Chain A
């Protein structure tokens, strides 16, 4: 069995691919202009950040990046396509002949190209009186299309592959979960000789279902000595079956020509100037090797956030792997959604400080967790007078307790256990900012010094 995928992902640019319209228009036809409506006389100008994202992905898949690239017109008539041609890439796309290392198995990438999304058709009205309306907000939103060779061997593998690939893509171009849900896939699958294409399947789950359905359908046909014909099908999401698509819709001759309104772009130089960050999957692998964590934990970390991985590595450098890993996988990852919003340099160093004290035994695990929780959960107090871990504050709290307990020095001289009174007061007034061990030490030191 051979499966190849054509993956379409919306690029998370702020403006559209060829005009300045925003990409987050909500009310129908609220983010439109003469260019993305295909009005006569309006023309495109390329959004550089879309080009850069395309190049980042071409680099991610180790593609051959040509010296120069350009755009082409793919002409077909469809009501959601404003100009009745789509600006896409045909010759010299941003990347060709790449590869994706899927858990040790190389999946070849045939090409990576950029194109514009068409608008969206909505059917409205009561049954029998339906009509179609077109929303052009999506018209001109940049897409990247990634085409693999037929190197995948079953539907589950295809899904895992795409999950991994999306992890890498998400980090490389800053894709949000929302963009990720709108991933559209054309699946090519052959069980025997002839391949069948299932067009325009939305999301990972539907893709796996469509592929599974095709495996069963094609296998049955082959068993009963029928021939699988080469054709284009579509996936019916509700009935979860694939159906033959109207031939006319997908098998036209698109008559590609160069897009004469846009220039030729020297992309090799641009591609070389783009910095390469470590990708999530490479990092997961490194985390396992460097810190001896399991693959499951490394994936949990990268899937939560690359920022969490950064924090972990900083903690590990200061406080060792074991303590840091314990705190990160426990209290930190479960509070991550809150932490990521407030993680500044101060908080980062406070977290690292807690890890350090936990690792040298000055606080125990329960106290470390409590200290950390206090850092995340009560921002008001965090930034107030009782900033955590400041020895001057502990000193002040001890002094305050001393003045509140006249005669404590005499009592202490008689019985050392009198120190407990002060210790109790300081613990209460510092609300967990310091470990009991620190407080005990400080109080005893103060009492030894005398009034």
Chain B
């Protein structure tokens, strides 16, 4: 499967696009079964693991993440670790203490996030498989912006052993690749129960490969979509109907509206506890003054080494689980999550999968990103959050180009029904006119 690609070529690409935080020497690449990369929040014994944060600079974990371990055992060669938003907190991969990856179709633009480096590597390196991680859309978003397939399995399908947590009840390890067949072939390798992660699950098995008979488009999902994106999406829907023979219905899914606030409350509540451990004691950044009271020491290390977005989410998450507010926010959000799951279940009585655009705009330029408020950025995730909040498997499918930039659509299936997504993706891949990014090296 591995296309002949040299490490020197990959190094050149990395110099231009900055998709790798840490790049290996490609030992074993020649003659290997396949090559892959891991998002930098997956632990690796032979590369530092920082999750894009200064607070983990220089940290070398003592063990490989389960997904990395499995792919290596299957004969894959790990090329390196891909850049990301710090701890996965972002939509454009600009919230990193290190290098920001540049979009393969336009280096003035963002790759999306938080698995930006992964999407960039998937788009630019032939035959590559990038391991990504999604909490609220961190695979779908960059896959859409970089024009690749971005697959997020059911929550619990892949062991999280070795994943640096963002929101444990939401985090899912998935795969990005320019070719959906690569994902379909390699996904079973990382799927299944692992005793090191009690939330991982081996059952039911990955569904039989069949494309869905029908898909539903929630009316809410196309509201306010810019005309050019709407046009591109409608065109794709026509292809789905006419060329793939899939029945298309319109759905009413009002819970979409509540998914976003619920997501940010659950995700930040969990994140604020997960990030508590980073205090400069046993790994990562060290404080300068060891003689002070521990409160001051932790405060100093954390103030100095966490980025602004990390601090914002810790504050948000700490607020929503405070005494007196916990019931109003955290517990309420858990109820909303249940309601969103139920809404999807109702939809699956009518259709096999739910289809939406992936992002409400094409990859923005970095100067546009800089002008966006935190709230505007959070709102950009409104179509990727519902499947993530409900733990449903989903796939970004590159479906067109607007102003030379890729546009994606997102197919969501019921829990454990990944098979139908991957089959639909492969079928689509045979019909779609994929445009490779032009690389001037």
Rounded to whole angstroms, the CA-CA distance of A259 and B62 in the bound complex is: 24
Residues in chain B near residue A39, CB distance under 8 A: 61-62, 282-283
In this assembly, does A263 line the interface, its C-beta being within 8 Å of a C-beta of chain B? yes
Interface string of B275-309 (1 = CB under 8 A from A): 01101011100000000001100100000000000
Residues in chain B near residue A256, CB distance under 8 A: 321, 326
A41/B56 contact (C-beta < 8 A), A85-B273, A263-B199 known? no
Rounded to whole angstroms, the CA-CA distance of A260 and B171 in the bound complex is: 10
Rounded to whole angstroms, the CA-CA distance of A84 and B272 in the bound complex is: 11
Q: How large is the interface on B (under 10, 10 to 19, 20 to 34, 35 or more residues)?
A: 35 or more
B243: min CB distance to chain A, Å: 42
- With beta carbons under 8 angstroms apart, the residue of B56, B63, B162, B298 that contacts A77 is B298
Scan residues 233-291 of chain B and give those whose CB is less than 8 A from a CB of chain A: 269-270, 272-273, 276-277, 279, 281-283
Residues in chain B near residue A258, CB distance under 8 A: 169, 334
Residues in chain A near residue B163, CB distance under 8 A: 41
Can you list 13 A-B pairs, Cβ within 8 angstroms, ordered by A? A34-B62, A37-B282, A40-B164, A41-B42, A41-B162, A43-B161, A75-B272, A75-B276, A77-B276, A77-B279, A77-B298, A78-B294, A255-B318
A139: min CB distance to chain B, Å: 11
A261/B164 contact (C-beta < 8 A), A39-B283, A255-B318, A256-B321 known? no
In this assembly, does A335 line the interface, its C-beta being within 8 Å of a C-beta of chain B? no
Q: With contacts A43-B196, A257-B270 known, what are 11 further pairs, Cβ within 8 A? A: A37-B282, A40-B56, A40-B61, A41-B61, A42-B162, A43-B161, A85-B276, A253-B322, A255-B321, A257-B269, A261-B199
A378: min CB distance to chain B, Å: 51
In this assembly, does B154 line the interface, its C-beta being within 8 Å of a C-beta of chain A? no
A332: min CB distance to chain B, Å: 47
In this assembly, does A46 line the interface, its C-beta being within 8 Å of a C-beta of chain B? yes
A260 touches B294 (CB 8 A): no
Interface string of A68-92 (1 = CB under 8 A from B): 0000010101110011110000000
Rounded to whole angstroms, the CA-CA distance of A18 and B369 in the bound complex is: 43
- With beta carbons under 8 angstroms apart, the residue of B272, B277, B298 that contacts A40 is B277
Residues in chain A near residue B43, CB distance under 8 A: 40-41
Scan residues 259-286 of chain A and give those whose CB is less than 8 A from a CB of chain B: 260-263
Residues in chain A near residue B49, CB distance under 8 A: 40-41
Question: How many A-B Cβ pairs are below 8 Å?
Answer: 105
B56: min CB distance to chain A, Å: 7
Q: Spell out A's residues near B (CB within 8 Å).
A: 34, 37-46, 73, 75, 77-79, 82-85, 134, 248, 253, 255-258, 260-263
Which residue of chain B has the shortest Cβ distance to A254 in the bound complex? B323
Residues in chain A near residue B326, CB distance under 8 A: 255-257
B169: min CB distance to chain A, Å: 4
Rounded to whole angstroms, the CA-CA distance of A42 and B163 in the bound complex is: 8
- With beta carbons under 8 angstroms apart, the residue of A82, A260, A262 that contacts B277 is A82
Rounded to whole angstroms, the CA-CA distance of A75 and B277 in the bound complex is: 10
A38 touches B318 (CB 8 A): no
B321 touches A83 (CB 8 A): no
Which residue of chain B has the shortest Cβ distance to A249 in the bound complex? B295
B62 touches A257 (CB 8 A): no
A182: min CB distance to chain B, Å: 24
Rounded to whole angstroms, the CA-CA distance of A44 and B273 in the bound complex is: 15
Residues in chain B near residue A82, CB distance under 8 A: 277, 282
Which residue of chain B has the shortest Cβ distance to A19 in the bound complex? B196
Residues in chain A near residue B273, CB distance under 8 A: 73, 75, 85, 255, 257
- With beta carbons under 8 angstroms apart, the residue of A46, A77, A134, A260 that contacts B169 is A260
Rounded to whole angstroms, the CA-CA distance of A301 and B321 in the bound complex is: 51
Which residue of chain B has the shortest Cβ distance to A84 in the bound complex? B276
Rounded to whole angstroms, the CA-CA distance of A66 and B196 in the bound complex is: 27
A79 touches B281 (CB 8 A): yes
- With beta carbons under 8 angstroms apart, the residue of A37, A78, A262 that contacts B198 is A262
B279 touches A84 (CB 8 A): yes
B294 touches A261 (CB 8 A): no
B401: min CB distance to chain A, Å: 38
B56 touches A45 (CB 8 A): no
Residues in chain A near residue B195, CB distance under 8 A: 45
B322 touches A40 (CB 8 A): no
Which residue of chain A has the shortest Cβ distance to B198 in the bound complex? A45
B283 touches A34 (CB 8 A): no
Residues in chain A near residue B59, CB distance under 8 A: 40
Q: Spell out B's residues near A (CB within 8 Å).
A: 42-43, 49, 51, 56, 59, 61-63, 65, 160-165, 167-169, 195-199, 269-270, 272-273, 276-277, 279, 281-283, 294-295, 298, 318, 321-323, 326, 330, 334
- With beta carbons under 8 angstroms apart, the residue of B63, B167, B294 that contacts A79 is B294
Rounded to whole angstroms, the CA-CA distance of A73 and B199 in the bound complex is: 16
Residues in chain B near residue A42, CB distance under 8 A: 63, 161-162, 196
Residues in chain B near residue A46, CB distance under 8 A: 198
A260 touches B61 (CB 8 A): no
A213: min CB distance to chain B, Å: 28
B361: min CB distance to chain A, Å: 32
Residues in chain A near residue B279, CB distance under 8 A: 77, 84
Lowest 3 A-B CB distances belong to which pairs? A84-B276, A260-B169, A260-B168
- With beta carbons under 8 angstroms apart, the residue of B161, B269, B322, B323 that contacts A41 is B161
B198 touches A261 (CB 8 A): yes
B266: min CB distance to chain A, Å: 9
Residues in chain B near residue A255, CB distance under 8 A: 269, 272-273, 318, 321-323, 326
Rounded to whole angstroms, the CA-CA distance of A77 and B296 in the bound complex is: 11
Rounded to whole angstroms, the CA-CA distance of A134 and B167 in the bound complex is: 28
Rounded to whole angstroms, the CA-CA distance of A255 and B271 in the bound complex is: 13
Which residue of chain B has the shortest Cβ distance to A121 in the bound complex? B294
Which residue of chain B has the shortest Cβ distance to A37 in the bound complex? B282
A41/B276 contact (C-beta < 8 A), A248-B295, A256-B326, A260-B169 known? no
Rounded to whole angstroms, the CA-CA distance of A83 and B276 in the bound complex is: 7
A43/B197 contact (C-beta < 8 A), A82-B277, A253-B323 known? yes
B336: min CB distance to chain A, Å: 15
Rounded to whole angstroms, the CA-CA distance of A257 and B170 in the bound complex is: 14
Residues in chain B near residue A248, CB distance under 8 A: 295
Rounded to whole angstroms, the CA-CA distance of A248 and B295 in the bound complex is: 10
Interface centre among B196, B269, B322 (most CB of A within 10 A): B196
A34/B63 contact (C-beta < 8 A), A78-B294, A261-B199, A262-B198 known? yes
B276 touches A45 (CB 8 A): no
Which residue of chain B has the shortest Cβ distance to A248 in the bound complex? B295
- With beta carbons under 8 angstroms apart, the residue of B51, B62, B270, B323 that contacts A260 is B270
A77 touches B164 (CB 8 A): no
B136: min CB distance to chain A, Å: 15
Rounded to whole angstroms, the CA-CA distance of A42 and B62 in the bound complex is: 10
B321 touches A40 (CB 8 A): no
B67: min CB distance to chain A, Å: 11
Residues in chain A near residue B295, CB distance under 8 A: 77, 248
Residues in chain A near residue B298, CB distance under 8 A: 77
A41/B65 contact (C-beta < 8 A), A46-B198, A84-B277, A263-B199 known? yes
A244: min CB distance to chain B, Å: 18
B294 touches A38 (CB 8 A): no
Rounded to whole angstroms, the CA-CA distance of A75 and B275 in the bound complex is: 11
Which residue of chain A has the shortest Cβ distance to B66 in the bound complex? A41
Rounded to whole angstroms, the CA-CA distance of A261 and B318 in the bound complex is: 19
B332: min CB distance to chain A, Å: 13
Which residue of chain A has the shortest Cβ distance to B61 in the bound complex? A41
Rounded to whole angstroms, the CA-CA distance of A46 and B294 in the bound complex is: 30
Residues in chain A near residue B269, CB distance under 8 A: 255, 257
Rounded to whole angstroms, the CA-CA distance of A356 and B351 in the bound complex is: 82
Which residue of chain A has the shortest Cβ distance to B171 in the bound complex? A260
Rounded to whole angstroms, the CA-CA distance of A134 and B326 in the bound complex is: 33
Which residue of chain A has the shortest Cβ distance to B324 in the bound complex? A253
A40 touches B294 (CB 8 A): no
B280: min CB distance to chain A, Å: 11
Residues in chain B near residue A43, CB distance under 8 A: 160-161, 168, 196-198
Rounded to whole angstroms, the CA-CA distance of A42 and B64 in the bound complex is: 10
Rounded to whole angstroms, the CA-CA distance of A44 and B161 in the bound complex is: 10
